[in-house]
Copies of this chain bind each other. A is one copy, B any other.
């Protein structure tokens, strides 16, 4: 089965994040994965550009109702008209997600992925803890774009980790 891997991150983004995302996109395309993203600018555009330039298939799930809002490296653009709820559709469409840096939108995708059992690989992204007790880190940490891709592809195919029962609450 072709793996579908989402790259989630900020829009706009700084040069470091753009370079990471483009490299992740390149490596995913070379591995034959479909790149899933929110289809817009910043990190989404960088990841799509990397995959596109390697001939990869890039799926962009858009918040608005017009295909024209996609960046030029999205090969399959899906307008949804559901606004920020499309973040959950990005996760639904993916076998694993790679979170790169990011703001609240990225956090919403991390959380929705954790809730629905989609593995999350993180590169310089959110850390999660609780006010009054220890929490084991649910994000698999990568130290480079290369490592993020290797981890995501491994987790995407892993029956033990994928689509496991949802955590409650």
Contact = CB atoms under 8 A, between A and B. Distances in A.
A161 interface: no
Contacts of A169: 9-11, 13, 42-43, 101-106
* Chain B CB within 10 A, most for which of A43, A115, A125, A141: A115
Contact of A88 (B67, B84, B163, B166): B84
A79 interface: yes
Stoichiometry, as copies per complex, reads: 4
Interface string A60-77: 010001110000000110
B131 A84 contact: no
A127 B128 CA distance: 6
Interface of A: 1, 4, 9-13, 34, 42-43, 57, 59, 61, 65-67, 75-76, 78-85, 87-89, 92-93, 95, 101-108, 110-112, 114-116, 122, 124-132, 138, 141, 163, 166-169
30 contacts: A10-B169, A34-B76, A57-B76, A65-B83, A65-B92, A67-B95, A78-B78, A78-B89, A80-B92, A81-B83, A81-B84, A82-B82, A82-B83, A84-B166, A85-B85, A88-B88, A103-B169, A104-B114, A104-B138, A104-B166, A105-B115, A105-B169, A107-B115, A107-B128, A108-B108, A108-B115, A110-B111, A125-B131, A126-B130, A127-B128
